[in-house]
Structure formats: C-alpha cells, structure tokens
C-alpha cells in the first residue's frame, strides 16, 4: 500500500514536470480511515479506485485527502461507480464534519470539484468516515457526565485499544441490561452516528433519559473491527472471514473473543436486547430503507417485530422514518443462510439466556425512505430508537 502511494506521488510529480508546472497538489490516504488507490493523474484529471486489500470480491469503501489544490478544479474518475445515493461526501475540517455533494455531481463515474482559494486539507469519501478521533470528540463533550464511562474491551491484533462504553445506570444493580455493537464491518460508519444518538438519549435530562438511568445498564463496543476502522479497510467479507462471521467456534479476532467472554458473565440473566448496528450495501431500493434483519427463531423475530411497531410509531415525526414492513425477515432476499446459526453476532447472542431481542439493524449510508442520512439525522434516529427500546422494556416484553 505504502509503495503504491509513493509511486502515485511520484506520478503526480512526473506529470507536473511534463506539463511544465510545479507539483502543486497531492492525493493520499495516510490518515485514520484513509483508503484509495490512484491509478494515474493527467493534468487536472485523477483516475482512482477503492483499495480492496484483503476483501473477498468487490466492495465500495474509499476515503482520500487532497492538499495543495486551492483555487483549482480537479476531476476524479473512479474505475467503477462507488458512490452512494447522495454522491461523494466532503470534509473541509480534517474529517470532523461531512456533507454530501449530491448524486447530481456524479457523471459517468466522475465528479469534479472546484477547491476554494483558501482550501487546505480537503477529504472526500463514499460516506462520512467515523474513527477513534470522532468518538473521542463525542466522549469529550460528555466527559463530565457520570452516567457515561469509557473502558477497554481488549487490544486488537495490531495493538490498538478497543473502547468499551458503559452508560445508563452505573451505580448499584440495574433491573435490565442492553448491549450494542457497531463496525463488525469496518466501513459501515453511519452506525456510529446512530450510536451517538442512542447514548445522547440515555444521558438526556428528560423523562426517557431519567428512566434509563434508573433502570438500565448499557454497554457498547463502537468499533468491533478497530484495526479495520483506523486502517480504512472495507472489513466486509474480509478474508478468511469478517468479524461478523467469527462467532462460530474459536474466534480469530480478539474483539470477538472478548465479547463472547464478557456478555454471558455481564448479562446475569438481565440482558434483554443486543443490537448489532450495520449499514447495508451502497445503493438500491432495499438498501435505502432502515430495517432489522431477522434470524430463523420465530419468538425472537416476533419480539423484534414488536419493537419495530414501536419504532415506526415514534419515528413518525423524525428526520428518518422507519416502517416495520421494510424489515428483512429470515428467508427473504439474501437472508436465507440455513446453516448460519451461531456464525454472526446476532445469531450467537440469541443463544444467551433471557434475551428478548438479538438482531442486526441496517441504517443506509445516504438515503433512507427518501430522506437524507447524515450525521445529524442518524443521531436523531438513534435517539428515536432509544425511545422505542424504552417503550419495549417498559411493556415488560
Ligand atoms: Zn454489515
């Protein structure tokens, strides 16, 4: 990877020299979450593609940085269309905030961008990358809140620290417990904004937050594939299998081993809900709807459907609506792997005692039910999801 990047930079220089001008812009992926392969640069035209690394088959994650392009207009042509329903996203503050440029800027796998006269570090991505730095900023905002604590789940194979968030009722024995995971697939970053919203709802100084802090202890692992998130990997369909196919037998990933060890101990028979937050494929009708993915156990799916009904009701006035009929029950579309039991996080969690709901929730990258998914609307959806979870738990399901 590094060699390829270096080769790319040399290429930029070479073309610039040939054109008789200074090498004045630079494209790279050498930052947390970065991912790009630059095939060639011809003047203002850049030809590039996502870096698949150890992915089995094709996938679509990319994120790159342009520096030294102030005042210029560059054209970025991808080897294939790897843009979500709102086109590429852009960040001009080093990856802190992002906005969609719009699908209309993409023409024939290409988008152009005119850099502001004072443009510095400008990043582009197929989504809105969320890495450890983003999580740290969120935790910093809530540093004084005693109902949110950050601990360590374990270390990764590459030596990184994996965060374990604890929030809600942290003093004394709670009545109930709820668990969340995100980024079993490294590229599925919109799930982390949703998780921020969930945590905000639990910390809020209102009736819902107050009830949670008196009744429910939460734990969450925001980055199940921490190495993949920081390195900018696809993560999905990673060889020999990805993190969400590591729950059968002896895990090969330390985070999965740690979750398999922690959850049964921590549950104490009080863990009611375990939700694994994902993002679906890049585009297409069924991938532009928020939906739960069902397993083959009828009782689990019945309860997930009940939560869905509450979520539909409560999301009626939210930026991102949810409809129970958009769910993907077992047996429908791709969700039909008969021998898939205990391979995914959700299917493994359904074997724990007293759990009522253990399932995957898919939040689209850019458009859900016709509405724009972005950091703010994803957080709002997370808050609504928390409200629905409270209603479900209060009903004693
Ligand atoms: Zn996924």
248-268, pLDDT tens digit by residue? Answer: 999 999 999 999 999 999 999
Is the pLDDT at 300 greater than 60? The verdict is yes
Strands across the sheet containing 271-278: 148-155, 161-168, 216-221, 176-182, 271-278, 357-362, 291-293
For residue 26, report the phi and psi dihedrals to the nearest 5 degrees.
-140, 135
Q: Same domain, yes or no, for 106 and 205?
A: no
Distance (Å) from CA 41 to ligand 1 centroid: 33
H/E stretch holding 312 reads helix 298-314
Q: In which domain, by residue range, is 269 found?
A: 132-394
pLDDT, position 16: 42
> At 62, which CATH number?
2.60.40.3120
Q: Same domain, yes or no, for 254 and 366?
A: yes
Distance (Å) from CA 359 to ligand 1 centroid: 12
Other C-beta atoms lying within 10 Å of the C-beta of residue 238: 23
Round to whole Å and give the CA distance between 265 and 259: 10
- Number of structural domains in the chain: 2
Is the pLDDT at 8 greater than 50? The verdict is no
Distance (Å) from CA 236 to ligand 1 centroid: 7
**CB of 361 within 8 A of CB of 290?**
yes
Is the pLDDT at 51 greater than 80? The verdict is yes
> At 299, which CATH number?
3.40.630.10
Q: Same domain, yes or no, for 298 and 169?
A: yes
Domain end residue (candidates: 110, 125, 140)? 125
Comparing 1 with 355, which gets the higher pLDDT?
355
Q: Same domain, yes or no, for 91 and 202?
A: no
- Give the confidence band of 278 by pLDDT, cuts at 50, 70, 90: very high
pLDDT, position 317: 87
Distance (Å) from CA 345 to ligand 1 centroid: 11
Distance (Å) from CA 182 to ligand 1 centroid: 9
Distance (Å) from CA 279 to ligand 1 centroid: 5
**CB of 272 within 8 A of CB of 355?**
yes
Q: Same domain, yes or no, for 119 and 139?
A: no
Summarised one tens digit per residue, pLDDT across range 348-380 is 999 999 999 999 999 999 999 999 999 999 999
Q: Same domain, yes or no, for 18 and 78?
A: yes
pLDDT, position 110: 98
Residues with CB under 5 A from ligand 1 (ion): 185, 188, 278
Burial 359-376 (b: 16+ CB within 10 A, else e): bbbbbbbbbbeebbbbbe
Summarised one tens digit per residue, pLDDT across range 155-180 is 999 999 999 999 999 999 999 999 99
Summarised one tens digit per residue, pLDDT across range 326-344 is 999 998 888 887 655 559 9
Torsion-angle region of 62 (φ positive above 0: left; ψ -120 to 50: alpha; else: beta):
beta
Q: Same domain, yes or no, for 93 and 191?
A: no
pLDDT, position 332: 87
Distance (Å) from CA 149 to ligand 1 centroid: 26
Q: Same domain, yes or no, for 196 and 76?
A: no
Alpha carbon 219 to its chain's center: 17
**CB of 229 within 8 A of CB of 314?**
no
Q: Same domain, yes or no, for 306 and 246?
A: yes
Q: Same domain, yes or no, for 165 and 303?
A: yes
Distance (Å) from CA 180 to ligand 1 centroid: 14
Q: Same domain, yes or no, for 261 and 344?
A: yes
Average pLDDT, integer, range 148-161 = 98
Round to whole Å and give the CA distance between 391 and 294: 20
For residue 205, report the phi and psi dihedrals to the nearest 5 degrees.
-85, 65
**CB of 307 within 8 A of CB of 319?**
no
Domain end residue (candidates: 95, 125, 155)? 125
Domain end residue (candidates: 101, 125, 149)? 125
What are the CA-CA distances from residue 198 to residues 37, 212, 275, 335 (Å)? 35, 11, 12, 26
Distance (Å) from CA 388 to ligand 1 centroid: 22
pLDDT, position 339: 55
Is the pLDDT at 21 greater than 60? The verdict is no
Round to whole Å and give the CA distance between 45 and 41: 6
Distance (Å) from CA 37 to ligand 1 centroid: 23
pTM of the model: 0.94
Q: Same domain, yes or no, for 11 and 69?
A: yes
């Amino acid at each position: 990877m590094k060699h390829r990047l270096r080769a790319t930079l040399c290429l930029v220089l070479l073309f610039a020299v040939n054109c008789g001008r200074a090498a004045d812009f630079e494209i790279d992926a050498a930052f947390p979450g970065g991912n790009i392969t630059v095939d060639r640069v011809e003047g203002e035209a850049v030809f590039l593609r996502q870096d698949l690394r150890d992915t089995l088959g094709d996938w679509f994650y990319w994120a790159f940085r342009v520096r030294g392009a102030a005042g210029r207009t560059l054209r970025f042509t991808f080897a294939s269309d790897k843009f979500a329903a709102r086109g590429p996203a852009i960040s001009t503050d080093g990856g802190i905030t992002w906005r969609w440029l719009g699908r209309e800027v993409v023409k024939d796998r290409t988008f152009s961008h005119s850099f502001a006269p004072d443009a510095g570090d400008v990043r582009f991505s197929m989504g809105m990358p969320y890495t450890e730095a983003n999580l740290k900023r969120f935790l910093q905002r809530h540093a004084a809140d005693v109902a949110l604590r950050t601990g360590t789940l374990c270390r990764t194979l590459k030596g990184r620290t994996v965060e374990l968030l604890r929030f809600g009722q942290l003093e004394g024995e709670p009545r109930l417990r709820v668990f969340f995971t995100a980024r079993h697939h490294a590229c599925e970053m919109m799930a982390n904004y949703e998780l921020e919203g969930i945590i905000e709802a639990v910390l809020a100084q209102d009736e819902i937050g107050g009830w949670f802090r008196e009744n429910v202890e939460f734990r969450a692992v925001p980055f199940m594939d921490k190495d993949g998130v920081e390195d900018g990997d696809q993560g999905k369909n990673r060889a020999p299998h990805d993190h969400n196919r590591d729950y059968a037998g002896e895990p090969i990933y330390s985070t999965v081993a740690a979750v398999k060890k922690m959850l049964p101990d921590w549950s104490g028979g009080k863990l009611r809900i375990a939700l694994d937050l994902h993002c679906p494929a890049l585009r297409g009708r069924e991938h532009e709807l928020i939906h739960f993915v069902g397993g083959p156990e009828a009782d689990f799916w019945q309860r997930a459907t009940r939560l869905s009904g509450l979520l539909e009701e409560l999301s009626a006035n939210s930026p991102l609506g949810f409809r129970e009929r958009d769910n993907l029950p077992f047996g429908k579309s791709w969700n039909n792997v008969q021998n898939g039991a205990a391979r995914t996080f959700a299917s493994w969690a359904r074997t724990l005692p007293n759990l009522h709901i253990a399932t995957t929730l898919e939040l689209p990258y850019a458009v859900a039910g016709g509405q724009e998914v972005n950091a703010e609307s994803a957080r709002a959806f997370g808050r609504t999801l928390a409200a629905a979870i409270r209603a479900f738990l209060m009903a004693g399901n």
